[in-house]
Chain A
Amino acid sequence: MIQFEKVSKKYRGMQEDVVKDISFTIPSGEIVVLIGPSGCGKTTCLKMINRIIRLTSGKILIDGKDIMEQDPIKLRRNMGYVIQQTGLFPHMTVKENIEVIPRLEKKDQHEIDERTEKLMKMVGLDADQFLDRYPTQLSGGQLQRVGVARAFATDPDIILMDEPFSALDPITRSQLQDELLFLQSKLKKTIVFVTHDMDEAVKIADRICIINGGRIVQYDTPEEIMKHPANEYVADFVGKNRIWSNPEYIRAEDIMLPDPLAVPQTLSAIHAIEQMREKHVTSAMVLDDDSRFLGYVRAVDIQRSPDKTVPVSDLMKEAKVIAAPEDDLVKLLDLINTNEVQALPVVNRWGRLEGLITNSSLVTTMSRQYIDTEKEVSA
């Protein structure tokens, strides 16, 4: 756990603080992304953690211990550090690069060799093929993999990553992001990651810390930030349509019609069709005595029925599929397509009806990204 307590940084000869009185906590085992426009102070925040930049006031605690009271060399060796592209030493082979610190610490070479092999496997590079190569002989993606391997060489609990993937082409970048997430799912390190790329942040972050002008604007999960931006600045920064590139964050509850026509199962068919007419709908949801969802009844079926005084429960159909409120858009579309249904009732885990997703409500929702940029998706 890394805690920032009222941390400020002022560079010599500059009027204003670059980092202004920041306090926040990075929980253990999470990936926290620091993001913001250039010059916002995000990299300064990162580099204050391993004391490459000295903080002016405030405190940074790691697992409760003030970093300023620790030996900076030890502190850094207990943290992985990955920077953009050039972080590897050009005059050393891949093996030498990865083993720099373990060798300086005079660890047993045999153990180091084993660890290096493991790290290479971990970052997906063939040891036999790459260990004796020099950085100049590697592609950008391979370089960054080695950079990551080196960061893990001392098996630190904390990894600091300063825009590690920003110089890579989009495909390689995406691959490395996936691999980082995969590694993290197994290793559960505390990773502080600086980027200026919101897509990257949303993809890998457990939490995003948006920084602007040296202050934290919002610190929350990606979903919350997208759905509930703290202010206009965040909304702008995140981008109004950001959520569309992350459909997994669009949930049934966000796009359902929240108040569909629902009738008790005991209601007579004639009354039910009357209500449908009033509401201009062609079907109604049927609830049991405890208001739990049972099924639906269609206007056509009532009209076809010779006896219109029977309770709707007699004419009701069971829903082929139902959705949970937290199901995401991808799943909803999948459900609708595979089951060829017109509508999808949204039912919570206690069986109560929350809303309804119809083909037309889907169309309306999805067209918003092109037509309506004024209204928030989650509204």
Chain B
Amino acid sequence: MSSFLQYVADNYEILLQYTVQHLRIGMLAVAAAIIIGVPLGLLISRMPWSRKPVLGCASVMQAIPSLALMGFFIPIIGIGDKTAIIIIALYAILPILRNTYTGLVNTDPMTIEAARGIGMTERQILFKVQFPLALPVIMAGIRVAAVNSIGTATMAAFIGGGGLGKQIYAGIQIINTNMILSGAIPACLLALFIDYIFSLVEKAVVPVSLRLSSAVIDAATVKKMKNHQRRVLTVVGAAIVILLGSIIFEAVKDSRKDSIVIGTTEYIEERIVSQLYAQVIEDRTDVEVELNNAMGSTLVTWEALLNGEIDMVPGYTGTYYASVLGLEIYPGMERDQTYQDVADALEDYGITASGQLGPNNQYVFAVKPEIAEKYDLKTVGDLAPLAPDMVVGCSQSFYARENDGLFPACEEYGLKFKDALTFGAAPMYIALENDEVDVIVTYRTDGLLQKYDLVFLEDDHSFFPPYVLFSMLGEEVMAEHPEVLDACLELNLAVTDEEMQDMNYRGAQDGEEPYTIAREFLLENGLISE
């Protein structure tokens, strides 16, 4: 408990920033949903024939898994907050749409007839009578949408957006309970807070008259209630203005600033590497660097780099060689040659390779020491007789790799595992620890390896290509800020395997911030100035 509070106290700045991002994503999504949902609700209340198709579509939308929606939208509109906002907004439309429709349709027909009879125009009836009377119902829908949106805003982190989800996923990656809680608890509190705020607004838009229980309430009380409502609406209105203002302000600020974006998956090593590059670039150039450390997978970052969503991506030569660029792997690949081949192939896409960082983070089969000892396991090939009784664990991407993934590797070594399970980085180690899997495929520089003290099995066939960390720059940044390339090259071969593993270990084991880890390393090695 105290360690949790300590963590929060140490990291309150970033948590606050995440919370503001979270709120912004959720509320912008709700705003978008209101802008779409309310007029649509009005439309279907006026055109009864459109009710079924529109409500039907909205309901279907609600039923589509968010993962599928993400997969659908990323190729079209890319990654980041705006995609998250669009997806969340799609989910938020239904309650708003439905309540707008219900509220408008349930206005007493006699009241509407009276309004028409005394000579109000259709528009006046809508705005002076129907909307004021339907507003409480509409607000109830908005409240549901708002609470849901704050809840789903955590998924923004999946697709390169910000918010508290980032903290939660990062925490899950390195099995750091404090980190997970420090993201989850504010997210939960934020949802409750939003619920409370919207309940106040909901109350404040109920016409005073409809809340009076009897005729005996005196004028002073009514006046007090009215004033209270006015105050609530003023405060909320001001909050909305501030929120929108801050968004516009940031958008303007962003557009003026020379900045580039480095994108990585949430994997701790990539996060540290991105910090290394970012701090060197900011130290050597006037370019500001933004980090997007929560992109779903290598392929997502690659797509984003190609379409200019992001400007720089750190990667592994082996991954790009085989999986991304589709080059044929061969036994006994040499690291510098591989890098050169990758760099040449990248040129065809307009992407510039900007130097190798150094560490070779090859895939490696690993088992618990007692298993290695018991069966005298030294090489991957030794696994062959045991494999039919073993379960292997690996990452989703390794599992899916065509040329150097799990299946080709098994074929090469004649392994026939009983089962293969896929995990995010950290849960895989836990599964191994709990004997749910017997062998894992991990990375050589993975910091968690130190935490769990595992035995590597030698790749005696040289099956796995080298996976040397390197970086790539997009077309745009090369055109606008060629100095960034020079900054990147400062880091060429600047980090050793051991240093990388150590940094990873600190990030994973101690939950240290990648920023701090990278900064200390760079300062120690004189790569940046104070």
Contact = CB atoms under 8 A, between A and B. Distances in A.
Interface of A: 47, 50, 52, 73-77, 79-81, 83-93, 100-101, 104, 132-139, 150-151, 154, 160
A310 B271 CA distance: 143
B209 A137 contact: yes
Nearest to B214: A137
Given A85-B110, A136-B212, A160-B117, 5 more contacts: A73-B121, A74-B119, A83-B117, A91-B129, A154-B119
B57 interface: no
B140 interface: no
A52 to B, nearest CB: 6
Interface string B219-236: 100100000000000000
A87 B219 CA distance: 23
A84 B110 contact: yes
Contact of B133 (A84, A90, A151): A90
A93 B209 CA distance: 8
A91 B210 contact: yes
A81 B112 CA distance: 13
Given A134-B212, A137-B217, A139-B215, A89 B117 contact: no
30 contacts: A50-B117, A52-B117, A73-B121, A75-B119, A76-B117, A77-B119, A80-B118, A83-B110, A83-B113, A84-B110, A86-B108, A86-B110, A87-B110, A87-B111, A87-B117, A89-B115, A89-B128, A90-B111, A91-B132, A91-B133, A91-B210, A104-B120, A132-B219, A132-B222, A134-B208, A134-B209, A136-B215, A137-B209, A137-B214, A160-B117
A101 B125 CA distance: 12
B210 A90 contact: yes
A133 to B, nearest CB: 8
A138 B215 contact: yes
Contacts of A85: 110
A124 B111 CA distance: 24
B124 interface: yes
Which 4 residue pairs are nearest across A and B when measured between Cβ atoms?
A134-B209, A91-B207, A76-B119, A81-B117
B217 to A, nearest CB: 7
Contact of B114 (A74, A88, A136): A88
Interface string B100-112: 0000000010110
A107 to B, nearest CB: 14
Given A52-B113, A89-B111, A89-B129, A81 B118 contact: yes
Instruction: Give the interface centre of A47, A73, A89 by most chain B CB atoms within 10 Å.
Output: A89
Interface in B120-176: 120-121, 124, 128-129, 132-133
Interface residues of B, number: 27
A135 B124 CA distance: 20
A257 to B, nearest CB: 53
Contacts of B209: 90-93, 134-137
A150 B111 contact: no
Instruction: Give the interface centre of A90, A104, A133, A154 by most chain B CB atoms within 10 Å.
Output: A90
Interface in B177-227: 207-210, 212, 214-215, 217, 219, 222
A45 B499 CA distance: 93
B111 A81 contact: no
A83 B133 CA distance: 19
A193 to B, nearest CB: 14
B116 interface: yes
Contact of B116 (A76, A132, A150): A76
A136 B215 CA distance: 7
A352 B108 CA distance: 63
A84 B108 CA distance: 13
A100 B117 contact: no
Nearest to B216: A137
Contacts of A93: 209
Nearest to A72: B119
Given A134-B212, A135-B209, A86 B118 contact: no
A109 B117 CA distance: 23
A81 B114 contact: yes
A76 B120 CA distance: 8
A43 to B, nearest CB: 11
B99 to A, nearest CB: 18
Contacts of B114: 81, 83, 86-89
A10 B120 CA distance: 25
A101 B120 contact: yes
A101 B119 contact: yes
Contacts of A136: 209-210, 212, 215
Nearest to B211: A136
B118 A101 contact: yes
A50 B115 CA distance: 12
Nearest to A162: B117
A104 B124 contact: yes
B133 to A, nearest CB: 6
A211 B120 CA distance: 30
Contacts of A84: 110
B109 to A, nearest CB: 9
A25 B119 CA distance: 24
Contacts of B215: 133, 136-139
B207 A100 contact: no
Contact of B118 (A47, A100, A133): A100
Contacts of A86: 108, 110-111, 114
A76 B122 CA distance: 13
B118 to A, nearest CB: 5
B391 to A, nearest CB: 66
Contacts of B132: 91
A348 to B, nearest CB: 49
A97 to B, nearest CB: 10
B129 to A, nearest CB: 6
Nearest to A80: B118
B48 to A, nearest CB: 14
A62 B129 CA distance: 29
Nearest to B223: A132
B207 A150 contact: no
A52 B116 contact: yes
Contacts of B129: 89, 91
Contacts of B207: 90-91, 134
Contacts of B119: 73-77, 79, 101, 154
A92 B124 CA distance: 14
Interface in B377-429: none
Nearest to A81: B117
